[in-house]
Amino acid sequence: MLFIIGLGLGDEKDITLRGLECVRKCEKVYMEAYTSLLSFGLASDGISSLEKLYGKTITVADREMVEEKADQILSEARTSDVAFLVVGDAFGATTHSDLVVRAKSLGIEVRVVYNASVMNAIGICGLQLYRYGETVSIPFFTETWKPSSFYEKIQKNRGLGLHTLCLLDIRVKEPSLESLCRGRKEYEPPRFMSINTAIEQLLEVEQMEGQSVYNDDTLCVGFARLGSESQMIVAGTMKQLRSIDFGSPLHCLVIVGKTHPVEEEMLDFYKSGTENLEQDVVNVAA
C-alpha cells in the first residue's frame, strides 16, 4: 500500500498521530523535496530529527527522482507498505496527483493522511476561507519574461469582492544555463520569492496593464513561515508591506477583497503601526 502522509507546515511535531503510526509501520519511507522543503528538508538535521522520531531511514526524493523512480516506488508499494511524506497536505498547494494516478492505475491501494496546508492555514489572519477566489501563482520575472496571467485572475476575484491567495515562486534544482550548455547537471542555488519581490512584480504588471485592479494602497496580508515557531503575519497596504523584512522563506501573500466587520476586527490585530513591529507580530500571532 502507498501511504501519502501530510506532515503539516512547521516541523516534525506537526505530523498527526495517525500519520506517525502509518510511517512507523512502513518498510520504505520517501519524502518529497519538490517545494516546501525548507522547514524540514534542506537542513540535514531536519531530516535526522524526522528519522529519529519515526525510527526509519528517509529517502529524500526530488522531482527528478520521483519521475525517474516512480516505477520502483510503486513496485515496492505493491508488495509492502511505502510512505510518501509531503510537507503540508498531500493535495494542498502542491499536488501529487500524478503519483496517485499511476498507483491507482496499477491497482495499488492508496491511503491519504490529511494535514494542514497553506491553503487553509491562511485562515488565521481572519479573512474567511470561503470568501477566496481562484488562487494565483507569481513566477519570478526576468528581463525578458514577465508572464502575468495572474493579473486577470486577480481582477476577476476583486470584481467579485473575493480575497486572492498568491503563491510565490520557488526555484529548486533549476539547471544552470551554463550547465545546460555544457551538457552537465549543475544547479542554480535555490530561490524563494519574498513578499517584497511579489509586490514589486504585482505593481509592475498593474503599471503595464493599467486596469486599476489594485495599487499601492491595496490592503494585503503577508505570511512568512506559516506554522513554524517564527511565523510572521502582517496586514498592511502594498506600499507598507513592500518595505517590511519578513525574513527567511517561505512567504505567501493575500490580496484582501471586500471585508466583513468580523474579518476587519481580526485583521486589525495584524496591522503594523508600532515601531516594534516584528516583536509585536510574533507575540500576537506566533
Contacting residues toward its own copies, per CB under 8 A: 6, 8-10, 12-18, 20-21, 89-93, 95, 97-98, 100-101, 104, 109-112, 114-117, 119-121, 123-124, 126, 128-137, 156, 160, 162, 165, 167, 227, 262-263, 265-266, 269, 283-284, 286
Q: How far is the CB of 182 from its own copies (least distance, A)?
A: 33
* Helix/strand/coil for 125: helix
Q: Which among 43, 42, 45, 24 is positioned nearest to 33, based on CA atoms? A: 42
Q: How far is the CB of 258 from its own copies (least distance, A)?
A: 11
User: In terms of CB distance, is 96 or 242 closer to its own copies?
Assistant: 96
User: In terms of CB distance, is 8 or 249 closer to its own copies?
Assistant: 8
Q: Which residue has the cell 491595496?
A: 218
User: In terms of CB distance, is 70 or 110 closer to its own copies?
Assistant: 110
Q: Which among 87, 88, 39, 84 is positioned nearest to 65, based on CA atoms? A: 84
Which amino acid belongs to residue 243?
Answer: S
Query: For 35, which DSSP code?
Result: S
Dihedral of CA 202/203/209/215: which sign? positive
Q: How far is the CB of 116 from its own copies (least distance, A)?
A: 4
**Any known ligand binding at 117?**
yes
Q: How far is the CB of 121 from its own copies (least distance, A)?
A: 5
**DSSP character string of 206-239:** HHHH-S-S--TT-EEEEEESTTSTT-EEEEEEHH
User: In terms of CB distance, is 8 or 139 closer to its own copies?
Assistant: 8
**Any known ligand binding at 226?**
yes
User: In terms of CB distance, is 54 or 192 closer to its own copies?
Assistant: 54
* Beta-strand pair 2-6/82-86: parallel
**Any known ligand binding at 251?**
yes
User: In terms of CB distance, is 137 or 176 closer to its own copies?
Assistant: 137
Q: How far is the CB of 45 from its own copies (least distance, A)?
A: 18
Q: How far is the CB of 111 from its own copies (least distance, A)?
A: 7
**Any known ligand binding at 118?**
yes
- By the 8 A CB rule, do 106 and 74 touch? yes
Residues with Cβ within 8 Å of residue 138, at least 6 apart in sequence: 150, 166, 167, 168, 169, 193, 198, 201, 202, 253
- By the 8 A CB rule, do 115 and 7 touch? yes
Name the binding residues for S-adenosyl-L-methionine: 9, 89, 92, 117-118, 168, 226, 251
Name the binding residues: 9, 89, 92, 117-118, 168, 226, 251
